[in-house]
Homo-oligomer: A and B are copies of this chain.
């Protein structure tokens, strides 16, 4: 069993944005040569997250952004001076990483699944670690 590692850089353009990165992760899995194992996709930040959701209809991404605003509003109790506490909260709720099965040398995603970087406090340049074990 081997561990292959690589990085992605994602430049976001808006304060809140959901960016599809499936193809870029898949390229790393191919490069790794791993046939059977797992792939960890990990964002090295505290105001952005990695998630898996529908990649076909772009309205799903728009609805997710609307939901994120609803779920984590700016509360009057917040004390962190940078004003981005809702972004920190969403990062812990959605989580900084996903682990995906690797089978037959490919990501074993379902038909509708895509991998997303969720920007909660952009625009920024984000680094994402990918580890492929197998």
Contacts and interface: CB of A to CB of B under 8 A. Distances in A.
Interface of A: 1-3, 5, 36-38, 40, 42-46, 51-54, 57, 59-60, 62-64, 66-67, 70-72, 75, 77-82, 85-86, 88-89, 91-103, 108-113, 118, 127, 129, 131, 133-134
Contacts of A95: 51, 94-95, 98
A63 B38 contact: no
Q: Copies of this chain, how many?
A: 3
Contact of A85 (B3, B60, B80): B60
22 contacts: A3-B37, A46-B54, A46-B60, A46-B112, A46-B113, A53-B91, A54-B88, A59-B79, A59-B80, A60-B80, A64-B85, A64-B88, A64-B92, A66-B77, A67-B86, A67-B89, A70-B75, A71-B93, A95-B95, A99-B99, A101-B131, A133-B134
